[in-house]
Amino acid sequence: GNSVTQMEGPVTLSEEAFLTINCTYTATGYPSLFWYVQYPGEGLQLLLKATKADDKGSNKGFEATYRKETTSFHLEKGSVQVSDSAVYFCALSVSNQGGKLIFGQGTELSVKP
Amino acid sequence: DTGVSQDPRHKITKRGQNVTFRCDPISEHNRLYWYRQTLGQGPEFLTYFQNEAQLEKSRLLSDRFSAERPKGSFSTLEIQRTEQGDSAMYLCASLMRGADRNEQFFGPGTRLTVL
């Protein structure tokens, strides 16, 4: 079956630190990979996506590269800000399986000034 | 276009009661998804519609749960004879199948508490 595993939180960093949140997946078929973010009190928002191997998704200084050989899609940011404090979810979908999203358990990030 | 909306935002009910939630997707989106999210976990897929047709139901969707999308517009999710284990955030998302971005847009969710 399809599944997503991401590193457990909470992750606490100081402002301007480097961020990595690990995400690995198993999938039948050819998945698209996503990172969603949930800010406090708000709904899920798409942060970035990649649809095929070696694609790099990027947005708001965050990046993630679709690595088929290691079945990974790690989220990185070079310099985090307090405003990046949120819960981050890695997810996959397989288009011939209805496009439903399979999520990891989420990683809470707290950035201190 | 104001995005995906859900109503109510919060619902508190007693065990054994029935509840119904509504989701209004983005108007031109033909796919609509329901997810359930419990505390500290990622959302779990429940069911989805393409237009008015319900195309898939998760094993999580017991026979106490039913969902409809009449006329392919808004959708309702009903839970009969609620149990404490049904307490969760219920999320709705919509998508325009075939759109380049293939992005699901999420509503704010309905938080259900079963006492």
pLDDT digits (tens, 9 = 90+) for A7-62: 888 999 999 999 999 999 999 888 999 999 999 888 899 999 999 999 999 999 99
Residues of A with CB under 8 A from a CB of B: 4, 32, 36, 42-46, 49, 51, 89, 91, 93, 95, 98-106
Report the alpha-carbon distance of residue B106 to residue A97 in Å, rounded: 19
Report the alpha-carbon distance of residue A85 to residue A70 in Å, rounded: 28
Q: Do B35 and A101 touch (CB under 8 A)?
A: yes
Q: What is the pLDDT of residue A75?
A: 98
Whether the predicted pLDDT of B100 surpasses 70: no
Angle at B96 between CA B107 and CA B86, to 5 degrees: 35
Whether the predicted pLDDT of B101 surpasses 80: no
Give residue for tokens 């149990």: B83
Residue B16: φ, ψ to 5°: 95, -15
Share of chain B above pLDDT 70, in %: 95
